[in-house]
Structure 1
Amino acid sequence: MSTSQNFIIFGATGKQGGAAVRWLSRSDANIIIHAVTRDPSSPKAQSISSLPKVKLIQGDASAAEGVFSQIEGKIAGIFFVNVGYDATAQIQEGKAIIDLAKRYEVNHFVFSSTDYNGHRNKETGIASIEAKKNIEDHLIASGMRHTVIRPVGFLENLFLPGYTDAIPHFWPAQLLKSGIAADDIGRAISEILLNPNEFEGKVIGLSGYEGVPQDWIDTWQDATGENLREREKKMSGGMDEERMKLLKFIMFNQNDARVAETKAIFPWVKDLRTFLQETK
């Protein structure tokens, strides 16, 4: 009888972690998906607990030792992504999980970082982005088998207050901006975890769609029948200074990830039109 491979997914009820759990659960491989969540009784946690191969673990990145100690046998792979805007906590948690993974002799560590918009080797002045660099560097220095993914913004953000309204009114007219469906990020994570030899040591940008603002506007109208230029502006409010800096950085800098490069690895990534048609 073959032994199951253990995978740990931190943030299992988040966009990326949840999508990774769903895609892993469809695999024919003999695996156990240890889905880490703060509240196993939540509707999102209960939804993924009903999937094949999934075992819920109560915990989070701030208390990762308790998560690792519950796994029986070797750990084949881990997925980790930071959440929130507390850069100090992000660095502490990220480094702690990497160190624990090394101590527990985890075979493969997958870290979801960020698209640096041309600033991987330049100071951004944004603490949450600089934290990602710090964690990436710590992972590389650990010597563990690893893969870093750098997704662009979620296409799901289009449905947040003010996001879509920014496209015709605030995005620079000639700036190429990119997006990717969270579900596609999860599918990529699943493939990477299940094929560590293929992806070991790689840094992979993830983008499913790219275009200047007019491209986004035209595609939106074709898919939904709505003209974004005719919408009433409803910008989101209540952001603190750090989040405003991050928003402006993302809005006014071109992404590093290119669709053609992503499709060369993951040819199934969805473009904006497909995403909108499937999201109706």
Structure 2
Amino acid sequence: MSSSPRTFLIVGATGQQGGAVLAALSKLISANDNKATPPKILALTRSATDSHKAQALTSKYPALGLTVVQGDTKDTAPIFAAHPDITAVFLYTTPPNEEAQALPLLEHVFSSSSSARKIQHIVFSSVDRGGDAASWENPTEIAHFKSKHEIELRLRDLCSSSPSPIKYTILRPVAFMDNLNPGSLFGPVFASMWATMPAERPLQVVSVRDIGLFGAKALLAGPDDATLGSNRAIGLAGQELRFEEARDVFRRVGGGQRELPQAPWIVGKGVRWAIGEVGTMFRFFEEKGYGVDIEALRRQEPELQDLETWLKKSSKFEFDNAA
């Protein structure tokens, strides 16, 4: 970790990925024992005063001493004008209209009249599209995958042509284990869609916790780090398994007394048929699939969670016997 003063802007601080980055930063900075100057953390949210989740961030992560900032990535000039000391940004987008969420921020950072002159590093959370090389070349037919691909290409082009030394780290996660979480209908529906895939076809999955961990480590390592910076794209997955294997893991963690919550199989089929983009995405899973080298990633990060570890340590499921 560098000892020079740094300021990180975390976009979507109350969302899944932004929150995971804050949680990982809190853990890593707390473990640092003041050996390096801690960064200043700005938590960006669209509603800093009216959102209970936003107001709770400072007490939730006391080790960060963070500042909650209200703003929108579609109009970032006021954010950077008010905080000209920002040196790095964690950025992610969600469907729909993802380019509109990211490109205004990127164009402002790289504009000649930018108020974001100190930025050196942009960490963007995208999506894997079949492995390292394939992800650069293959936008896929999935609308939100294509949007992230366009953002990646624009970020790469801007960094390569910028007279200022700004570098990127692109994180490319696969399907979220967290899609299975209880608390809404989506978990059982996602399970039912996964169940429609051919029995022999595996799916790569990742914990959102691990996206946050890699995002936080990339920010702390800095733009010139050979592993997590320096214009690198990193596929993120914790395990590759078939649906029946996922059900077996759930049964094992639950002591053989519980089943993975799943809507009827026909619901999964119906959603795939009714929502075109979902159907296209699952056809991609079946015909091509993600392509992260999980073993290589685990050598880089031994704490990478598989499904069993996620269920026990990071999921919202409660198991009496989980250690």
Smaller-chain TM-score range? Answer: 0.7 to 0.9
Residues 214 and 233 (structure 1), Cα distance of their counterparts in 2 relative to 1, 3 Å cut:
closer
User: Do 1:165 and 1:228's aligned partners in 2 also have CA atoms closer than 8 Å?
Assistant: no
Is it true that 1:170 corresponds to 2:196 in the alignment? yes
Q: Distance in 1 between matches of 2:286 and 2:47?
A: 34
Q: Distance in 2 between matches of 1:77 and 1:96?
A: 16
In structure 2, the partner of 1:96 is 104
Task: Pick from 176, 183, 187 the counterpart of residue 154 of structure 1.
Answer: 176
Task: Pick from 271, 280, 284 the counterpart of residue 245 of structure 1.
Answer: 280
In structure 2, the partner of 1:211 is 241
* 1:102-251 equivalences in 2 (<5 Å): 102=110, 103=114, 104-105=116-117, 106-117=119-130, 120=135, 121-122=137-138, 124-143=140-159, 144-159=166-181, 160-167=187-194, 169-196=195-222, 197-198=224-225, 199=228, 200-224=230-254, 225=256, 226-227=258-259, 232-233=264-265, 235=267, 240-250=275-285
In structure 2, the partner of 1:262 is 297
Q: C-alpha deviations, 1:78-107, integer Å up to 9, x for none?
A: 010111222xxx223322211222332311
Is it true that 1:38 corresponds to 2:46 in the alignment? yes
Deviation at 1:277, TM superposition (A): 1.6
My pick for the range that moved more, 46-55 or 10-19, is 46-55
In structure 1, the partner of 2:15 is 14
In structure 2, the partner of 1:76 is 87
Deviation at 1:255, TM superposition (A): 1.1
Q: Distance in 2 between matches of 1:55 and 1:213?
A: 42
Residues 252 and 161 (structure 1), Cα distance of their counterparts in 2 relative to 1, 3 Å cut:
farther
Residues 69 and 162 (structure 1), Cα distance of their counterparts in 2 relative to 1, 3 Å cut:
same
Residues 251 and 156 (structure 1), Cα distance of their counterparts in 2 relative to 1, 3 Å cut:
farther
1:63 counterpart SS class: coil
In structure 2, the partner of 1:64 is 76
Residues 269 and 123 (structure 1), Cα distance of their counterparts in 2 relative to 1, 3 Å cut:
closer
Residues 164 and 195 (structure 1), Cα distance of their counterparts in 2 relative to 1, 3 Å cut:
same
Residues 49 and 170 (structure 1), Cα distance of their counterparts in 2 relative to 1, 3 Å cut:
same
Deviation at 1:251, TM superposition (A): 5.5
My pick for the range that moved more, 234-243 or 10-19, is 234-243
Give the letter for the 1:46 counterpart: Q
2:191 counterpart SS class: helix
Deviation at 1:269, TM superposition (A): 1.1
2:175 counterpart SS class: coil
Give the letter for the 1:149 counterpart: L
**Where does the alignment leave 5 or more consecutive residues of structure 2 unmatched?**
160-165, 182-186, 319-323
How much is the aligned-residue C-alpha RMSD, in angstroms? 2.5
User: Do 1:38 and 1:59's aligned partners in 2 also have CA atoms closer than 8 Å?
Assistant: yes
My pick for the range that moved more, 183-192 or 207-216, is 207-216
2:305 counterpart SS class: coil
Give the letter for the 2:244 counterpart: Q
User: Do 2:11 and 2:90's aligned partners in 1 also have CA atoms closer than 8 Å?
Assistant: yes
My pick for the range that moved more, 109-118 or 2-11, is 2-11
Q: C-alpha deviations, 1:167-189, integer Å up to 9, x for none?
A: 4x312222221111111111110
Q: Distance in 2 between matches of 1:228 and 1:21?
A: 29
Residues 123 and 146 (structure 1), Cα distance of their counterparts in 2 relative to 1, 3 Å cut:
closer
Give the alignment's TM-score, normalised by structure 2.
0.77
User: Do 2:192 and 2:262's aligned partners in 1 also have CA atoms closer than 8 Å?
Assistant: no
Q: Distance in 2 between matches of 1:30 and 1:72?
A: 18
Instruction: Tell me the number of residue pairs that the alignment of Structure 1 and Structure 2 aligns.
Output: 274
Q: Distance in 2 between matches of 1:9 and 1:269?
A: 22
Give the alignment's TM-score, normalised by structure 1.
0.88
Residues 251 and 32 (structure 1), Cα distance of their counterparts in 2 relative to 1, 3 Å cut:
farther
